[in-house]
Amino acid sequence: MGAHPLPRYRYEEVPLGPLSNYARAVAAAVGVPDHGYWCEVGRLATIYLALDARHPEFPDLDLALAWNEVNGWSAVLEIRQGAETIAIAYRGETVLPTPREARTFMADLLAGHCPGQLEPPRLRPPGRRDVLHRELRRYRQRLPH
C-alpha cells in the first residue's frame, strides 16, 4: 500500500493585527515592555517575548517565551545573542492560551518547576483556518495599556 496523501487545504495566513494585539496582551501579562517583543506572520506566524529574567537552571543564558501557530508557547534559551535558541519546555494544551495562562507557564518556569512538555506538541498544522482564527477574533481591537 502506498503512503496516504497529505490532506489539501487552502493556506490561510494568520491575521497580523489580532496576532499583534494578542502578543501585546501576553507581553503585558508577563511584564515585557512594548519594545521587548515582536511578532510576524508568513508561512509560520510567530511571537517572541524577551524576558528580563533567567531560568534557575541556566542563569548564564537569556530566557524568552516564543510562540508559533503550530506548537503554541515555549520557553527558549538564547544560546547565542539574538541568533540561536533552544526550547526547554512547551506549554502544550492549546495553541492560543489566555495571557494569564501564559503568565502562569512563565511563573512556573521561573520557580524552577517543569511545566508543559519537552517535545513540540504539534497542536495544529500551519496555515489552516481553524480555531486559532476564531480565538484571535477576541484580539481584533487594540487593547489599552
Q: Which of 12, 82, 1, 22 is nearest to 43 (CA)?
A: 12
Question: Is 144 within a domain?
Answer: no
Q: Strands 72-80, 84-90: parallel, antiparallel or unpaired by DSSP?
A: antiparallel
In percent, the amount of the chain with pLDDT more than 90 equals: 45
Question: Is 5 within a domain?
Answer: no
User: What b/e sequence results for 74-112 when a residue is b if at least 16 CB atoms lie within 10 Å of its CB, and e otherwise?
Assistant: bbbbbeeeeeebeebbbbbebbbbebebbbbbbebbbee
The pLDDT tens digits of the residues spanning 83-139 come to 688 899 999 989 999 999 999 999 999 988 888 888 999 988 877 777 888 889 889
Which range of residues forms the domain containing residue 132?
Answer: 16-139
Question: Is 22 within a domain?
Answer: yes
Question: Is 145 within a domain?
Answer: no
Question: Is 106 within a domain?
Answer: yes
Question: Is 50 within a domain?
Answer: yes
Helix (H) or strand (E) holding 106: helix 99-110
Question: Is 55 within a domain?
Answer: yes
Say which residue, 12 or 1, is predicted with more confidence: 12
> What total number of domains does the chain contain?
1
Question: Is 23 within a domain?
Answer: yes
The pLDDT tens digits of the residues spanning 42-74 come to 888 999 999 988 888 888 888 999 999 999 999
